[in-house]
Amino acid sequence: MANEFGGVASLEAEFSCPICLSLYKNPVLLKCGHSFCKECIQKTLSAQQQFEAPYSCPMCKAQLDPTLELQKNFQLCNIMKIFLPTASEGQQNEGSAEGKKDTVPCDYCLDQSQPVVKTCLSCDVSLCQAHLNKHNAKASHQDHVLVEVGAGGGAAERRCPEHGKLLECFCQDEGLLICVLCSIVGRHKGHSIVTLKEAHNKELGELSATMTQLQEDKNALITALKELQKSENQVKTNTKTVTSQLQKLFEEMKTAVIQKEKNILSDIQAIEKKQLADITKVKKKMEKRRDEAMKHLLSLQKMREEPDIFLFFKEFEVAKDRVASQDFSVNVMNVVAVQLYDAWINKYRQQMQNFMSKLDKQLQSIKYELTNQIRSSSGASHTGASSNCKCSKILVIPRDSGCESCRENT
């Protein structure tokens, strides 16, 4: 039977996953030939991916394809279906055998030994329930020390290594468990000695005080954690509030600048439109006068070639009167070159830099408030304020800051 159990244990080792050390569950096969539980290898590959490491076999470290697909090990799956019932039965039989092996027989039972329920350290015997009842019925056994079977500390540990007696006393000077002889003739003679019961009661008092202190510490930690959670939420709220306010402020500034740009460009375009209309009007007058002059020139040129002198004089007199009645004056509109002087541009840029510098100072104060919004109770308190102060801080920007136009608009 032992050989059969050993064989099952050997097979169980062969059919165990190298990662979880349990029997294979839904085994899969890697290209290197090693098999693992599907869930185990998936967790391992996920951990490798999280640390940005290439996929590799946990056993042989062979590199795996980043796009690998886990192939089911059908042969191993079939073997496990057959092996699992046998392994379970072997484990149950082995557990039963171990249970029988761990059973301690009663020292007083003669024919059929009964399982032990208590061990008497004073008598140095193990007792079943029936013999334990007889043992406790004797008045002389009332002070004997009874322990559970398999209780921590063997019988040898509970006896004095020097005198072989039961450790029934406690030396308060050296904090050691001792026997009666140690307190009478041993090296603990003359020390402050009490019984184990008295020492136990004293230690229980200290234990209670320690537990009370730990309970207070635990409650304080719970309260501190709640306060830290509130602080965490407040930091997020502060960041969200300030961010929203600054976004709104910068959006208003951008809108004002864009609107100002539109107004100025619109005025310039209106001036251009009016002046171009004036020039166009004058151009039309000049074009009309030019056409009239051209018409009279052609007429006079034709008259110049008239062979009949009588007709020439007659037509020329009419032509002179007609030309004299026309307005051929010239209207000139000279336009000078206009541009922004470098001095103007530099002045505007300097004003913009001054404004940005003042704005940066205000933003630095906001950053300072956010950086120092945490008031640690373990650090030094601020002057005029308690370290546990929970009031909301409101940043006030002085009205005398900023550019002149901003002060005028406020």
Q: What is the pLDDT of residues 266-298, one digit of tens each?
A: 999 999 999 999 999 999 999 998 999 998 889
Q: Evaluate whether 125 touches 119 at the Cβ level (below 8 Å).
A: yes
pLDDT computed for residue 399 by the predictor:
36
Write the pLDDT tens digit of every residue in 318-341.
888 888 888 888 888 889 999 989
d(CA 404, CA 398): 13
Section 356-382 average pLDDT: 77
Q: Evaluate whether 177 touches 169 at the Cβ level (below 8 Å).
A: yes
Higher pLDDT, 286 or 87: 286
Q: Evaluate whether 9 touches 28 at the Cβ level (below 8 Å).
A: no
Q: Choose the weakest-confidence range: 13-17, 21-25, 85-89, 387-391.
A: 387-391
pLDDT computed for residue 244 by the predictor:
94
Which pair of tokens denotes residue 378? 């373990």
Write the pLDDT tens digit of every residue in 161-186.
888 788 889 999 988 998 888 888 88
pLDDT computed for residue 299 by the predictor:
87
pLDDT computed for residue 333 by the predictor:
87
Q: Evaluate whether 103 touches 115 at the Cβ level (below 8 Å).
A: yes
Section 94-106 average pLDDT: 53
Write the pLDDT tens digit of every residue in 198-235.
888 888 988 999 999 999 999 999 999 999 999 999 99
404 C-beta neighbours (distance < 10 Å), count:
10
| Closest of 80, 73, 79, 77 to residue 29, by C-alpha | 73
pLDDT at 379 over 60: no
Beta-carbon-side half-sphere exposure of residue 273 (alpha carbons within 13 Å): 6
| Mean pLDDT score of the chain | 80
Element (DSSP H or E) covering residue 118: strand 118-120
Collect all residues with Cβ–Cβ distance below 8 Å to 105 and sequence separation of at least 6. 113, 114, 115, 116, 126
pLDDT computed for residue 94 by the predictor:
47
d(CA 317, CA 326): 15
- Domains of the chain in sequence order: 2-102 (3.30.40.10), 339-362+393-410 (no CATH)
Q: Evaluate whether 144 touches 124 at the Cβ level (below 8 Å).
A: no
Write the pLDDT tens digit of every residue in 42-77.
888 888 888 777 888 888 888 888 778 788 888 888
Write the pLDDT tens digit of every residue in 132-160.
888 888 887 777 777 776 655 556 777 88
Instruction: Give 83's pLDDT tier (boundaries 50, 70, 90).
Output: low
